[in-house]
A and B are shown apart, each in its own frame.
Chain A
Amino acid sequence: MELENLRFGTELLKRGFAKMQKGGVIMDVTTSEQAVIAEEAGAVAVMALHAVPADIRKMGGVARMADPAVIESIIGAVSIPVMAKARIGHFVEAQILEALGVDMVDESEVLTPADEFHIEKTKFTIPFVCGARNLGEACRRIKEGAAMIRTKGEAGTGDVSQAVLHMRMIQGQIRSLKGLDDLQLMEVARDIEADVELVRECARMQRLPVVNFAAGGVATPADAALMMQLGADGVFVGSGIFKSENPEAMARAIVEAVHHYDDAALLAQVSKGLGAAMKGLDAASIPESEALQTRGW
């Protein structure tokens, strides 16, 4: 086999990688020990960061990419994919993560943004996931090369309401495209500041052309199943696992809940005796200036 026959980093490979995560739970971890717990519990991937969102919120200051040494130790500890967060617009953090052998970069509003513009993601070999609150934001990220979208929700709160809002918003906007003629689709594209080709694609497929996960405030098995019933392809859990009383049990239960999301009897079963979920924070009590979801556009 000649080497020039091989092609790396194509859109098909990037979006394909995200498709392999469907029906799964991606868990935030800060150490290799946590990564092993996540893998044992059935996570499809882990997300490496220096502190979980609830702690980032508490600590304040500038939140940056995790220590490469920690990311390397996590990569060495598990066989499932390892993702890691880079600051919005910080393409050098993303370059470093790619060089480390991370499987996917989360260009994340949980970290302090480095630029008002997002990373030009088509230039990278590895795929990116980005947050979105509505269809316009999702399409802008996909146009920049995101291979996967997740709701922004409000990270580190353990309050699922914002993730619900963002998921319903995106699904509702796509449903409202049904039956529109091409001129009307162009008007929508202009109004929501989205690429018209992508809007046409969403109208035709009646979904985003990339995998769409839920994130930002998922803290219990019931939260995870709620997001799946609302149409998420899978779930990210940030602080919800390692800020709970019994992370092993909570991690296993959330994996089961995503798998059996439409089976209430089973959800009741897996939700029993997990100990306290993360304490959390009512998202409505957060002043606008401290909200993470308004980072990026």
Chain B
Amino acid sequence: MTRIGVLALQGDVSEHILALQRAAPDLEVVAARRPGQIERCQALVIPGGESTTIRRQMDSSGITAELVATARSGIPVLATCAGMVLICREIVGEGRFRPLGLMDIAVSRNAFGAQRESFEADLDFKELDRPYRAVFIRAPLIVGAGQGVEVLARLDEGVVAAREKNLMALAFHPELTDDSRIHRIFLDMLED
């Protein structure tokens, strides 16, 4: 059976698990937080949460190298909000945070400001025939992308969703709404 792991160090892990179960009832979804769990998954979700906390816990749990190697092996990876911050090549405008450098994108953290500036918006998302209601919470923004990166959605001039080979990064939270269409696009990547 295909097993999907949700990185369960901190953040809205249970919301992602429920969203995946809703989108694909016949798949096995597991919370992964100990060494040896991620490498046994055929797809991985890196959830929303606080990127500084998750990054720190990744190292202290001794799973950073395993996560990087598993993502590089080519399994589908969905990274939302904090997840996008974690997998990017570069964080713009600050030096302290060390991203994993998996995806060829440059990201600005909390690009829209504090929680006061968090918002919902209807997005035109590539491959979807009608707008997608997206939830942005202290969201990051993709401000630079390499040649191999495909833009999936924009907000003004900024990129809020992108894909590079097996990696899909979203600045918003598809796990917080009932609309499963983006989770299904991600699950389709399992068959490619």
Q: Which chain A residues have a beta carbon within 8 Å of chain B's beta carbons?
A: 1, 5-10, 12-13, 16-17, 19-24, 39, 42-45, 75, 79-82, 98, 101-104, 125-127, 255-256, 259
Q: Does B192 touch A at the CB level, under 8 Å?
A: no
- Chain A residues with Cβ under 8 A from B116's Cβ? 8-9, 98, 101, 103, 125-126
Tell me, rounded to whole Å, the shortest Cβ–Cβ distance linking B113 to chain A: 7
Please give, as numbers and ranges, the residues of chain B lying within 8 Å of A255 by CB-CB distance.
53, 56-57
B138 partner residues in chain A, CB cutoff 8 A: 17, 20, 81, 103
Chain A to chain B: the 3 pairs with minimum beta-carbon distance, closest first? A103-B115, A23-B10, A19-B12
Tell me if A's interface is mostly helix, strand, loop or mixed.
Answer: loop
The interface stretch among B21-29, B118-126, B162-170 is B118-126
Give the contacting residue for A23; candidates B9, B94, B121, B135; CB below 8 A. Answer: B9
User: B176 contacts A103, CB within 8 Å?
Assistant: no
- Inter-chain CA distance A256–B58, complex, in Å, is 11
B122: shortest Cβ distance to chain A, in Å? 6
Are A6 and B119 interface neighbours, CB within 8 A? yes
Asked whether A256 lies within 8 Å of B52 as measured between CB atoms, the reply is no
Q: How far is the CA of A171 from the CA of B39 in the complex (A)?
A: 36
Residues 36 to 51 of chain B near chain A (Cβ within 8 Å): 48-50
Q: Is B109 part of the binding interface, using a Cβ–Cβ cutoff of 8 Å?
A: yes
Chain B residues whose C-beta falls within 8 Å of the C-beta of A19 in the assembled complex: 11-12, 15, 48, 176
How many residues belonging to B are interface residues under a CB distance threshold of 8 Å?
Answer: 43
CB contact under 8 A between A17 and B49, given known A81-B138, A259-B9, A259-B10 = no
Chain B 38-82 interface mask (CB, 8 Å, partner A; 1/0):
000000000011101100110011000000000000000000011
Taking beta carbons and an 8 Å cutoff, which residues of B are in contact with A? 8-15, 33, 48-50, 52-53, 56-57, 60-61, 81-82, 94, 97, 109-110, 113-122, 135, 137-138, 154-156, 173, 176-177
Contact of A17 (CB < 8 Å), options: B10, B53, B137, B156: B137
Interface CB pairs A-B, < 8 A, 16: A1-B155, A7-B120, A12-B135, A13-B118, A16-B12, A19-B176, A22-B10, A22-B11, A22-B13, A23-B9, A23-B11, A23-B13, A24-B49, A79-B97, A256-B60, A259-B10
